[in-house]
Amino acid sequence: MSTIQRIGVVGCGTMGSGIAHVCALAGVDVRVAAASPESLARGRARLTGSLDKALGKGRITDRDHENALARVSYTSDLADLADRQLVIESISEDESAKRELFARLDRVLQDPEAVLASNTSSLSVLRLARATADVGRVIGVHFFNPAPALPLVELVPTLLTHEKTAVRVEEFLTDVLGKRVIRSPDRAGFTVNALLVPYLLAAVRMVESGHASAETVDDAMTLGCSHPMGPLRLADLIGLDVVASIAEALHEEFREPHYAPPPFLRRLVEAGLLGRKTGRGFYDYA
Ligand code: CAA
């Protein structure tokens, strides 16, 4: 039986709202925090929309929907997270913003056993942990997009995470959320992105070099290998800025050329064509 019943989610973008959705449906008391009332309002609309969609598609019942909504509260004041037993940070991938947030959360949480987790996909969890006074209670919990649909969570203990922290969070993820957990080392890309991102970059290079169109590359992998999505549609779903930042992190850490973000990917990011979230990337979503 998990000892975690009250969680906080900081940041309510695609991943934060997906994580809050999963937790609220699993019966957990969820408090969502965002930096400003405006971003909180957008996050609330995103989370409500995600639960509405699950209801509309018949994945959850009216009762699940109503109970899940009732379990979520919202705040733009971090002090309101004081009673949380686990806080999952899911703000944008900005190391100094995350470090500042971790330092503040470390002071706000009343329970010395409370766990501070990051959903980062491209930063070192240890560097975030070093912003706190108790590095042993900091851990990475890496969900996949869309979080309600994908069963896996990577659990990323740092060299300094207490084993009791890892065990407590692992029990919560498996017993309460019903996720499948793998432990990954705190190295760039963890396990999934160290495999996935070079593949996505290879697909970008095929388009960039004129080897094949985006549609042909995607058909190759959906029809030839039975992947649920081709790599370029998947890159658009993940967000091209996120793919580029994971590639940068992998390249910085390992210096292998196949990790370097191709120029075409950088240009798309510079143009603000980030994929589904902005309405255009390799494909048009307008
Ligand atoms: N609960 C809630 N929503 C769900 C769901 C569930 N159980 N299952 C699917 N959905 C959502 C889908 O996201 C999709 O949303 P949109 O309408 O916004 O497109 C919608 O419901 C339609 O889903 P369908 O039932 O038609 O499902 P599908 O068969 O088309 O599958 C998919 C959709 C689940 C996204 C599937 O294509 C898939 O698994 N794709 C691969 C996704 C993937 O690889 N994600 C990992 C990315 S890597 C990452 O996230 C980590 C990182 O650090 C970058």
For residues 117 and 141, is the Cβ–Cβ distance under 8 A? yes
The three-state secondary structure class of 137 is helix
pTM to 2 decimal places: 0.96
What is the structure's pLDDT at 98?
98
**Whose C-alpha lies nearest to ligand 1, atom 35?**
146
pLDDT digits (tens, 9 = 90+) for 213-235: 999 999 999 999 999 999 999 99
pLDDT at position 1 is: 74
Q: What are phi and psi of 71, to 5 degrees?
A: -85, -5
Structure confidence at residue 286 as a pLDDT band (50, 70, 90): confident
How far is C-alpha 247 from the chain's CA centre?
A: 16
Residue 280 DSSP code: B
Average pLDDT, rounded, for the chain: 97
Q: Does domain 6-183 have CATH number 3.40.50.720?
A: yes
Q: How far apart are CA 275 and CA 207, in angstroms?
A: 15
**Range(s) of the chain covered by CATH 3.40.50.720:** 6-183
**According to the model, what pLDDT value does residue 185 have?**
97
Judge whether 16 and 43 are in contact, CB under 8 Å: yes
Q: Which two tokens stand for residue 48?
A: 């409500």
Q: Do 146 and 18 form a contact (C-beta atoms < 8 A)?
A: yes
Q: Ligand 1 centre from 148 Cα, in Å?
A: 8
The set of protein residues with a Cβ atom below 6 angstroms from ligand 1 is 54, 59, 121, 144-146, 148-150, 193, 196, 228-229, 234, 238, 242
- For residues 123 and 93, the answer to whether their CB atoms sit within 8 Å is yes
CATH top-level class of 194-277 = mainly alpha
Is the omega angle on the peptide bond into residue 257 within 30 degrees of 0, that is, cis?
no
Which residue's alpha carbon is at the smallest distance from atom 48 of ligand 1? 144
What order of strands is seen across the sheet that includes strand 115-118?
72-75, 29-33, 6-10, 86-89, 115-118, 138-143, 152-157, 180-183
- 34-38, 191-195, 207-211: least confident range: 34-38
The residues that are catalytic are 121, 142, 154, 193
Task: Note the ipTM here.
Answer: 0.92
* Residues carrying CATH 1.10.1040.10, the chain: 194-277
Mean pLDDT, residues 263-275 taken together: 98
Residue 72 has pLDDT above 90, yes or no: yes
Ligand 1 center from residue 145 Cα (angstroms): 7
CA distance 161 to 117: 11
Most ligand 1 atoms within 8 A of CB, residue of 90, 120, 150 to mutate: 150
Structure tokens at 177: 């959320």
The pLDDT of residue 280 is: 98
Atom of ligand 1 lying closest to residue 144 CA: 50
Tens digit of each residue's pLDDT (9 = 90 or more) over 148-177: 999 999 999 999 999 999 999 999 999 999
Average pLDDT over residues 115-144: 97
